[in-house]
């Protein structure tokens, strides 16, 4: 639930920063109806993107915590490379 609230708040901030009335409808759409369609779709997309970003970040921190506490072992991508007699 917190993820959804954060996603909506972040999207509201983005929506407010790009409010079309401040630019006198000069850029994308020429009518108010198209502005509302444009910003409604953009707002929904922003909520989705923020929600996915927050979920992925939460998963990354969870995996990091599990590795640090030793509950899971890191895979081969996390192992230290062996010294092959290069620079000493």
Kindly list the domain boundaries of the chain, sorted by start residue: 2-73
84: its two tokens? 């092959």
Q: What is the mean pLDDT of the chain?
A: 76
Per-residue pLDDT tens for 24-50?
656 656 677 877 887 788 888 888 888
Q: DSSP characters for the chain?
A: -HHHHHHHHHHHHHHHHT-GGGGTT-SS-SSHHHHHHHHHHHHHHHHHHHHHHHHHHHHHHHHHHHHHHTSS---GGGSPPPP-S---
pTM metric for this prediction: 0.54
Q: For the chain, what percent of residues have pLDDT higher than 90?
A: 0
């Amino acid at each position: 639930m917190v993820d959804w609230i954060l996603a909506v708040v972040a999207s509201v901030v983005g929506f407010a920063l790009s409010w079309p009335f401040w630019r006198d409808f000069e850029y994308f759409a020429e009518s108010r109806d198209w502005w509302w369609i444009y910003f409604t779709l953009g707002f929904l997309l922003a909520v989705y993107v923020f929600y996915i970003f927050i979920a992925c970040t939460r998963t990354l921190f969870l995996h990091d915590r599990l590795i640090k506490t030793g509950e899971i072992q890191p895979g081969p991508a996390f192992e230290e490379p062996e010294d092959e007699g290069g620079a000493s």
